[in-house]
Structure formats: C-alpha cells, structure tokens
Amino acid sequence: ALVFFVILFRFSLNISIPFLVNVFPISWEQEIGRNTYNAMSKTVFEKSELSNLRIKRLREKAADLAVKNGFASPQIIFHDSDLIGANALAFAGGPIVITDDLVILLQSDELILSVVAHEFAHIQERHSLQQIIEVVGLAAVASIVLGSDDTLLEEASVIGINLLANKNSRSFEKQADLRAQQYLDKAGFKKSTFANAIKKLTEHYCSKTAVQSVQHCVEKMDSGWLSTHPSGAERIEYLSHSH
C-alpha cells in the first residue's frame, strides 16, 4: 500500500508541477531567490577582487546577450568564494552569481558568457522553482506517511528524495545546456564556445579530484548516481551535435 501510494503521488506530482509553476507568481519566486542568495552571502560568498571595469564589461555583454534572446538579464553578481571555487549559480528568479575563480579560469569573455547563458536558461525555464516544489512535496509526504518517530525510515526517505532531485537536476542541466546553445547561436557566438568552456571546466575539476588520469576523467561518460550534472564528456558530446 505504501509503495502504491508513493508511486501514485509521484505520478500526480509530475502532472501537477507544470501547472503549479505556471501559476506561481514570479515575484514570489524572485523573493525566494533573493532570500537564498542573502543567506548564502553570509557564509559562502566574499567580496569580488575583480576590477570594476571587468565586472562592468561582463554585465553589459550579458545584458546584450539577454536582449538578443528577447528577455531582460537578471542581476549578475560577482563574488570570490573559497568554498565553491570556479562556479556559477542561478538562484530562483535571479540573481546569478559568478565567482572570481570562474572568470580567472575561463579568461575569455565569450567562454564566461556561455556559462552565463546556461544560468539564464535555468532562470527562464524556472528549474529551481520546479525542484523546490517537487522536493518540498515529496518531503512532506514522506514525513506524513513514515511518521516522525521512524528515524531510520525518514533518513532513507531523505536519501531517496536527494537521489530523485539529483536525477532531475541532471535532466535540467542538459535542458539548460541545450537552451544556452540556442541563446549563444542567436547572439552570433561560435558554435564551439560553450563546449570549449565545459571542456576547460571539466579539465579543471578533474585535475583537482581525479584518482585516475585527468584524461580518463575528462573522457568519462558516466556521471554516477549522486552527480547533479551530466559528465563533462557527455555534455561536450551533445553540445557538439546540437543545432
């Protein structure tokens, strides 16, 4: 009965999420994003050490990229961060955070903007809001069905929810990659720009984490169950063949 209930709820949730996202006020989504950013800015983000000129130029180019694709650019904020390294984050409804390490690693404005395009796609597709609605819904049902006293089962349910969120995250990442490629194509970027940025980021990640050779890590297609992103090799593959 429990399994049947969970499957039924999961099916119902899949159907209802698009409707819930469409009726969810954008102003509320943006408030969630701002609150999340403000909370993280106290512990994760530090003041950017990039020059004001560099920040201004990247913001202007990002705004131009957005306009060429028919939407307004959300706020883009640059931060230094020892905790997340070379990274970019799109909060629900904005803002977008770009780390100094990402700018330093990619160097080229075009490569940096290709990552910004990926974050634009997350915001335009409202991926964060979809995940929030789904995970909160599943967590609530797990709490109701399993009860607050069943500690072991609750921990297992949290693991299951996290695995599900990771799976959805990988799907959203691919959607954002392909949408970003469309944004870049429309703005006149070279087709290889985003794939080159992903390759550079993958090589950087592999040089810091790979137990085996960097080359093997870069070429690995399997991202693993607990990964929130498709593998670098997989992303480069489908970006190279997208139209």
pLDDT tens digits for range 163-178: 445 556 888 999 999 9
pLDDT of residue 104: 97
Which residue is associated with the tokens 């929810």? 161
Mean pLDDT of the 50-55 span: 98
The reported pLDDT for the residue numbered 169 is: 82
Reported as half-sphere exposure (CB side, CA atoms, 13 A), residue 151 has a value of: 0
The H helix count followed by the E strand count for the chain is 10, 4
Phi, psi of 148 (to 5 degrees): -75, -15
Structure tokens at 126: 């409202």
Q: Which of 14-23, 65-74, 140-149, 172-181 has the lowest mean pLDDT?
A: 140-149
CA 183 to CA 23: how far, in whole Å? 26
pLDDT in tens, 207-222: 887 656 667 777 775 6
Q: Give me the pLDDT at residue 161, please.
A: 44
Q: What angle do CA 10, 234, 79 make, to 5 degrees?
A: 85
* Cross-strand bridge partners of residue 1: none
In the prediction, which pLDDT does 23 show? 87
- Output the pTM of the full model: 0.83
- pLDDT value, residue 225: 41
Residues contacting residue 212 through CB under 8 Å, at least 6 positions apart: none
In the prediction, which pLDDT does 233 show?
87
Distance CA 232, CA 222 (A): 9
